[in-house]
Amino acid sequence: MRNNRKRISRKTTNQHAVAHYGADILCSKEHKRCDKFIQHGDTTVRKHTTSVACMAVAIARKTHLKFDYQAMIRGALLHDYFLYDWHEPHHGLHGYTHASLALKNAAQDFAISPIEADVIKKHMWPLNIKPPRYREAMIVTIADKICSAKEVFGKPIYNKKVEEILNEYK
């Protein structure tokens, strides 16, 4: 596997990193389908995944380690690509099953790298027992929990920045 890990220049904002590395996913009609489904509160899956990508970049930069930012951002944008309304009662096992389904859907619609697959498949760790293999996946699982908690309590994180990113890719 090619090592694409690096640090992002200080001049690049988290928001611009997400818009840049996630461009092809963000502008795809497939990812736009995620706007039809609510994740938590009144945050759609498209907004949720974009905010998780921003949060993952913010956390990764704080570590001063090198990351494959492209894979981490693309994986974050697709980590909840399950494409149904999980609030419907027959999706009772959603918490356990959606990561695998998201990966299956993502692999059908996009070219997915091994790191991206790990980000998507392992993001529900420790609920899904197998831990992340790559540091990019570990960061996304942390970012997902922070963003999800904020959304549940009606205070979605990066709301304005996420809207600015998504307005670019309407």
| Contact status: 151 vs Fe ion (CB under 5 A) | no
Strand partners, 6: 67
Only one residue has tokens 């009144």, namely: 42
Count Cα atoms within 13 angstroms, Cβ side, for 161: 19
Task: Give the residue with the Cβ less far from Fe ion, 98 or 161.
Answer: 98
Phi, psi of 31 (to 5 degrees): -70, -30
Taking CB under 5 A as the binding criterion, the range among 8-16, 131-139, 143-151, 159-167 that sits at the site for Fe ion is 143-151
Task: Give the residue with the Cβ less far from Fe ion, 4 or 108.
Answer: 108
Strand partners, 43: 40
Question: CB of residue 132 vs Fe ion: minimum separation in angstroms?
Answer: 13
Question: CB of residue 16 vs Fe ion: minimum separation in angstroms?
Answer: 22
Size of the site for Fe ion (CB under 5 A): 2
The one among 46, 144, 150, 158 contacting Fe ion by CB under 5 A: 144
Each residue 62-81 as x (binds Fe ion by CB under 5 A) or -, in order, gives: ------------------x-
Task: Give the residue with the Cβ less far from Fe ion, 17 or 119.
Answer: 119
Task: Give the residue with the Cβ less far from Fe ion, 28 or 44.
Answer: 44
Task: Give the residue with the Cβ less far from Fe ion, 23 or 146.
Answer: 146
- Contact residues toward Fe ion (CB under 5 A) are 80, 144
